[in-house]
Amino acid sequence: MRSTMSAAAAVAWLGTVVTILSRSHADRNVYPSAGVLFVHVLEREYFKGEFPPYPKSGDASNDPITFNTNLMGYPDRPGWLRYIQRTPLSDGVLYGSPTAEHVGKPTVIEITAYNRRTFETARHNLVINIMATEEFPLPYQAEFYIKNMNVEEMLASEVLGDFLGAVKNVWQPERLNAINITSALDRGGRVPLPINNLKEGVYVMVGADVPFSSCLREVESPHNQLRCSQEMEPAISCDKKFRAQFHIDWCKISLVDINKVVPVYITRPDPGTGILPDFGEYKPPSEFLKSRDYFSDFLVTLGVPSAVAVVLFFILGYTMCFRREGVEKRNMQTPDIQLVHHSSIQKSSKELRSMSKNREISWPLSTLPVFNPVSGEVVPPIHPDNYETTSMPLMQTQANLQNQITIPQQRPSGKWYS
């Protein structure tokens, strides 16, 4: 590990504009203040000396280097700390605004540099000690939306100092701090088209100790509100002090007086029918538990259904085998005339069935072949002896027709003869 002894640089503008910027990148301690924007630059130039062939400072080699930052022991950074690096050939930047709840808790950030040419890595630790400040929080906070800036451009000390200087000229506070910077993409903005040098936009929040100036409150006038609703630029008298370098969307400016903000207290609802009571923290059972005998539970679970099934089996068997009336008892309870009638019907049915089986019936001529398909001879009808049917033939043979019907013939003399 290699460390530098350079101290954190604090850039102050116009005497009372405070923001903390750090250009160091090795294992070291930094001391940002709660409620003040913190910026830490990871310079590629320094990490070039960490990789072989270890060129000297100022060498012309320009290896692509990327950085990975995470809280020690965790896969990601703290919620208040963000990181951005546009390309592997640009420096990385850690930035964010720590809150009062992080005061007194050292935050160790692991910084891992990757050389994309040699696949070598180098790791450094950054210890962030958040300090408390009496000026935090400043009561009057204003958030500006700058359309012609990206977040890494706005994080540069010179650009941020110029913006804070312009805000101080139109606000005239005694103390002015940059509180936070957020990319418009993190607020739901769209990625701009890569034409005409379009920027993604950035939100900059600043705080002061005096009420808002009349220039900043001009956007709240009914005339400007109407223009904003019609997607037109409002008329702001102090816009020319920003227009030379910063294009501000005045319709998206936010002015907040935290002294007038009503605190919201979250109250827990009374437990109703669908909410379980709060039993506190879960306490697992002790590791030394007595063993339980499940043999009796097994007998009850398996024995009771088996006993019920056996009883039902015997009841059903007795009913089916020993409680049957039989044919004789049934005949004794039936009148004799009904038995005779029933037996006569059975005998008649049997007789008809036997007669239908023994009856010879010719096949219909329409269903029989007339000629042999091979020899061409006339094929006589076949009447199998075991043919069983109860249906009448569709057509009778010629012999049967001659025997059944005699057609009278007329002689020429006009007399009938038998």
Q: What would the pLDDT profile of 78-129 be if each residue is shown by its tens digit?
A: 989 999 998 999 999 999 998 888 888 888 999 999 988 888 888 889 999 9
The H or E element spanning position 402 is helix 398-404
Residue type, position 319, single letter: T
- List strand residue ranges (DSSP E) for 14-57, in order: 17-22, 28-30, 38-42
**For the chain, how are helix, strand and coil distributed in percent, rounded to 5?**
30, 20, 50
Question: What is the separation of C-alpha 319 from the centre of its chain, rounded to a whole number of angstroms?
Answer: 62
Distance CA 111, CA 346 (A): 106
Q: Is residue 210 within 8 Å of 172, Cβ to Cβ?
A: yes
Distance CA 95, CA 81 (A): 6
**Whole-number mean pLDDT of the chain?**
78
Residues with Cβ within 8 Å of residue 397, at least 6 apart in sequence: 362, 365, 381
Q: Model's pTM, two decimal places?
A: 0.57
Looking at the predicted structure, is the pLDDT value of residue 418 above 50? no
Q: What would the pLDDT profile of 21-31 be if each residue is shown by its tens digit?
A: 444 445 678 88
Distance CA 175, CA 73 (A): 38
Q: Is residue 199 within 8 Å of 149, Cβ to Cβ?
A: yes
Provide the pLDDT for residue 369: 61
Report, as an integer, the average pLDDT of 202-209: 92
Task: Set out the domains of the chain in order of their start, with CATH numbers.
Answer: 20-128 (2.60.40.10), 140-257 (no CATH)
Q: What would the pLDDT profile of 137-148 be if each residue is shown by its tens digit?
A: 788 999 999 998
Provide the pLDDT for residue 33: 87
- The half-sphere exposure of 277 on its side-chain side, counting CA atoms within 13 A, is 1
Q: Considering only CA atoms, which of 12, 364, 51, 333 is closest in space to residue 160?
A: 12
Question: What is the separation of C-alpha 276 from the centre of its chain, rounded to a whole number of angstroms?
Answer: 27
